[in-house]
Amino acid sequence: MQIDTEQIIPITRLQKELTVKLRELTETEEPLFVMRNNSLAAVIISPAEYELLKNADEVLEHLEIADMIEKRLKTHDPSRNIAWDQVKAEHGL
């Protein structure tokens, strides 16, 4: 992952400049990479970027479920199906 050095900030400097940095983040929508002891400790992103990532995660989850269903349908034996009415009756519904 390539990170622009302008987007990297030590945590001690962030503590002093938090309001300014959050304002910049809101205006530029560029992520801010927070360093602690010369290691990446956190990434601060805009709400728009967060929503985009959240939506992408949901899409990936749906794709994984669809793939799982497709694989299971390949080995599905329709003769083993149980009618919904039978399930309800067995469970007193």
Q: Where are the domains of the chain?
A: 1-45, 46-76
Quick one: average pLDDT of 15-23? 93
Residue 23 · residue 46 · CB < 8 Å: no
We find that the CATH architecture of domain 1-45 is 3-Layer(aba) Sandwich (3.40)
Q: Do 28 and 3 contact (CB within 8 A), yes or no?
A: no
On the question of pLDDT at 40 being above 70, the answer is yes
Cβ pair 33, 59 in contact under 8 A: no
| Percent of residues, the chain, with pLDDT higher than 90 | 76
Per-residue confidence (pLDDT) for residue 1, from 0 to 100: 66
Which residue did the predictor score with more confidence, 83 or 2? 83
Q: How far apart are CA 21 and CA 18, in angstroms?
A: 5
- Asked whether residue 32 carries a pLDDT value surpassing 80, the answer given is yes
Q: What is the mean pLDDT of the chain?
A: 92
